[in-house]
Amino acid sequence: MVPQKSNLPDADAIDTLEEIERKVLWLSSWLIHNANHIRPSRDGLKVGGHQASCASAVTLLTALYMSVLKPEDRVAVKPHASPVFHAIQYLFGRQSRDQLERFRSLGGAQSYPSRTKDADDVDFSTGSVGLGVGATLFGAMVRDYVRLHGLADEGEPNGRIIALMGDAELDEGNVFEALLEGWKHDVRNLWWVIDYNRQSLDGVVHDYLFQRIKDFFGTVGWNVIELKYGKLLQATFTEPGGDALMNWIDTCSNQLYAALTFQGGSAWRTHLKADLGRTKGIKALLDDHDDDALHRLMTNLGGHDMTATLEAFDQATDDTPQCFVAYTIKGYNTPLAGHKDNHSGLMNLEQMAAFKAVHNIRDGHEWDIAEGLGIDAEALQAMLDGVAFNQRAPATPVAKVPVAALPAPEGESMSTQEAFGRILNDLARDDSDLAARIVTTTPDVTVTTNLAGWVNQRGLFHHEELADLFREEKVPSAFKWTMGPAGQHIELGIAENNLFLLLAALGLSDRLFGARLLPVGALYDPFIARGLDALNYACYQDARFMVVATPSGITLAPEGGAHQSVSTPLIGLGQPGLTSYEPAFADEVALIMSWGFGHMQADDGGSVYLRLSTRTIDQPRRTDFSAIAEDIIAGGYWLKTPSPGAELAIAYTGALAPEALAAYEQVLEDIPGAGLLAVTSADRLYADWQSGDQGHAERLLSALAPGAALVTVLDGHPATLAWLGSVANHHIVSLGVDRFGQSGDLPDLYREYGIDADAILDAAAAALTKRQRKTGGARLPLAAE
Ligand SMILES: Cc1ncc(C[n+]2csc(CCOP(=O)(O)OP(=O)(O)O)c2C)c(N)n1
Ligand SMILES: [Mg+2]
């Protein structure tokens, strides 16, 4: 493709961009230096920061932010280039000096770009390498979803989504999982700019990686643009000996290239002389360049040459996804350049003094924007004020979608999973704004998580209308699988990482694309672990979504251990930004879902995790549900209220309600005042208890006698509820699953893992015995007695 010169800045503008590039290199290096060497340390720990990784990305990020980006474009910046991003925002007046001076200290600029903690409008948080890259792909998908559903403001330009990524991020499998999904969904207007410095943290990347990148990306329909040589090298290649020199560079191993870069001009000379000394033109070339000039020439890679970089970006003329492989040098233009251990390396005091002299920075003027540049301060400011990206307005909050109470599905007996499916099925018939804003997604488990009713009515999302050929061919099936731009279900392949990255992007749609979506993602509970880092990443960004994890626990009985989740309730309890619930009955599911859709939109809200089950259980006939509704949301309610001062209560969660109820009924014969506590959210109860005031758990448990016996039981790790004993110093025995599950039927498995009614009775006896030793009172015979 021929570069369209008309879009490129003229020579003067490029000179200015190069000045700014030098300033960005200075500021990003200095702010790290300041944090490590100037700011007093109170704990003696190295503050860190990545001067070499930053230097590598300076040209690319300067070109993007200062020339290429439009305000509507969204960018994920590789984690360790955070100082470069902050330095650029500082030049724009969007980041304060105070924040830069406090880099990596409390309240200052974050070590890695953070949507929630940084003050300068980060689009995508990054930190766990690979995830920010994947998130941009799903961001592009969500942007198209919003546009095709007509949810964006009229005339809102269609921004590009861009990742500036490290080359080693390509080692993360999630990047390739995302690529494949992007191909299926025909993702558009997406750029990945690879900072191809051929170094990672420990090592140097494989020599032929570039070829593989070309193949991978080409296979999934991307255009790959190689940005290899700068203008100096390009010019030299046209001169005598140029072909040989180019061939020498092309075949030079990454390790040798990096080593020579570190050593400098005389080392280049020695090697070139030895290898090409007899080639016509090379001698003259070597004679014409002193060591400094030779070093400058040999390190003039495309990703450090402003003109070459802008030309490369200018080649992307349509909405085909673009991968730019920008050759760079880790630590370029710093003393760290090319050294094999430079990832965490920092310039020492002498090196910084020399660096400062090169940048013409006077003591005390380190933060001055125009200091040491060849342009005058006013002209610089005028230029910065006029940059297209710098016209970006702050995001304005998007209106909330009203959430009416969702009616509970009716039935004598039902599983929580069935209730979930029926609630969405009913919603699908609704023409409410709520139903219009819900987007569902699963990693290939739509039918088995009960979403088919919803999908049959609302359809699958795709850029183009695609018919359900099984249906057209009259192959009988209860499921309609028609796709089109109006569809509200995004079907993913089996990759839970992709699910959570898509939920992250959908759940930021209000802030990234100005349109509120209410994403609901369903998966099997055990496979939360498969995408856990992406789930954590989504929560870290404050994306808002509902995860419905079903089935869960050993209750999945015959399916066996590999599908049985044990520790997910602890994830629900421990994961910031995610409030978890494990309801037992259909009316609880409906209530929690309507609360959840509100919580997902609340300013101080968050995401919601529902741990559900396929076990069909009898539903209670409640006459006054509204009396317990608030308690259900607060995390627990008395299914059977204890008499004042009761000596025993059984607390259960989720699908074990029938076992708890059976045990409770037997206990009543000996302890008539005992209570049965339904814990709908250990997470809410715990957070509330820890918040200091008299919390809901304290209020509930205050009904019991001091030092009463308490048995807790759930189909998950017992530690989830074991802390309840500390709330009011009750004698507690906690039942649950703390070993891998296995195949079996429910009676066998519940007995084997000690969570059936007999086990609950035994636990009640043991808890009462503990209590009796201390305080006297009732006893229950142990089964063995
Ligand atoms: C998931 C994850 N694993 C490990 C790390 C630690 N780490 C940070 S940067 C890095 C190497 C990155 O190399 P590359 O992407 O090539 O970046 P650059 O060379 O530009 O610094 C590693 C291993 C991390 N941040 N995230
Ligand atoms: Mg690298």
Nearest CA to ligand 1 atom 26: 128
Is the CB of residue 488 less than 8 Å from the CB of residue 506? Answer: no
Nearest CA to ligand 1 atom 21: 53
pLDDT of residue 153: 82
pLDDT of residue 785: 55
What's the whole-number mean pLDDT along residues 423-434? 96
User: Residue 173 Cα, ligand 1 centroid: separation in angstroms?
Assistant: 14
Buried-exposed string 391-403: b where 16+ CB fall within 10 A, e elsewhere: ebeeeeebeebeb
pLDDT above 90: residue 210: no
User: Residue 343 Cα, ligand 1 centroid: separation in angstroms?
Assistant: 9
Nearest CA to ligand 1 atom 12: 200
Rounded alpha-carbon distances, angstroms, from residue 45 to 37, 48, 53 = 11, 9, 21
Ligand 1 atom closest to 172 (CA)? 1
User: Residue 636 Cα, ligand 2 centroid: separation in angstroms?
Assistant: 50
Beta-bridged to residue 579, according to DSSP, are 608
Highest averaged pLDDT of the listed ranges 1-10, 28-37, 210-219: 28-37
Ligand 1 atom closest to 195 (CA)? 20
Q: Assign 750 a pLDDT band (cuts: 50, 70, 90).
A: very high
pLDDT above 90: residue 6: no
Alpha helices in 229-299, H assignment, sequence order: 231-237, 242-251, 254-263, 265-276, 282-288, 291-298
Ligand 1 atom closest to 197 (CA)? 19
User: Residue 335 Cα, ligand 1 centroid: separation in angstroms?
Assistant: 21
pLDDT of residue 597: 98
Residue to substitute in 128, 172, 201 for testing ligand 1 pocket (most ligand atoms within 8 angstroms of CB) = 201
pLDDT of residue 234: 97
Closest CA to 136 of 396, 508, 542, 397: 508
pLDDT of residue 209: 81
Tokens 């080692």 — which residue?
171
User: Residue 204 Cα, ligand 2 centroid: separation in angstroms?
Assistant: 8
pLDDT above 60: residue 514: yes
User: Residue 495 Cα, ligand 2 centroid: separation in angstroms?
Assistant: 26
Residue to substitute in 194, 261, 339, 343 for testing ligand 1 pocket (most ligand atoms within 8 angstroms of CB) = 343
Q: Assign 335 a pLDDT band (cuts: 50, 70, 90).
A: very high
pLDDT per residue as tens digits for the range 383-399? 999 999 999 998 889 99
The ligand whose atoms approach the alpha carbon of 170 most closely is 1
Is the CB of residue 541 less than 8 Å from the CB of residue 509? Answer: no
pLDDT per residue as tens digits for the range 663-682? 999 999 999 999 999 999 99
pLDDT above 60: residue 197: yes
Tokens encoding 663? 């045990």
Name residues contacting ligand 1 (CB within 6 A): 53, 56, 78-80, 128-129, 166-169, 195, 197, 199-201, 330, 343
Ligand 1 atom closest to 127 (CA)? 25
The three-state secondary structure class of 60 is helix
What's the whole-number mean pLDDT along residues 189-213? 88
Cα separation, 488 vs 141, in Å, equals 13
pLDDT of residue 2: 42
Is the CB of residue 112 less than 8 Å from the CB of residue 149? Answer: no
Amino acid type, 577:
G
Cα separation, 524 vs 559, in Å, equals 12
User: Residue 21 Cα, ligand 2 centroid: separation in angstroms?
Assistant: 20
User: Residue 195 Cα, ligand 2 centroid: separation in angstroms?
Assistant: 7
CA angle at 51 for the pair 48 and 55, rounded to the nearest 5°: 160
The edge-to-edge listing of strands for the beta sheet with 578-581 is 483-484, 460-461, 489-492, 438-443, 518-523, 546-549, 607-611, 578-581
Nearest CA to ligand 1 atom 23: 201
Nearest CA to ligand 1 atom 20: 166
User: Residue 129 Cα, ligand 1 centroid: separation in angstroms?
Assistant: 6
Nearest CA to ligand 1 atom 7: 201
pLDDT of residue 783: 60
User: Residue 259 Cα, ligand 2 centroid: separation in angstroms?
Assistant: 15
The ligand whose atoms approach the alpha carbon of 169 most closely is 1
Q: Which helix (H) or strand (E) holds 664?
A: helix 657-670
Q: Assign 472 a pLDDT band (cuts: 50, 70, 90).
A: confident
pLDDT per residue as tens digits for the range 258-277? 999 999 999 999 999 999 99
pLDDT of residue 477: 81
Nearest CA to ligand 1 atom 19: 200
Measured in degrees and rounded to the nearest 5, phi and psi for residue 524 equal -75, 140
CA dihedral 740, 743, 747, 752 (to 10 degrees): -40
User: Residue 106 Cα, ligand 2 centroid: separation in angstroms?
Assistant: 28
Ligand 1 atom closest to 205 (CA)? 16
Q: Assign 661 a pLDDT band (cuts: 50, 70, 90).
A: very high
pLDDT of residue 3: 41
Biggest CA-to-CA distance, the chain: 104
Cα separation, 728 vs 705, in Å, equals 10
Nearest CA to ligand 1 atom 1: 128
pLDDT of residue 476: 79
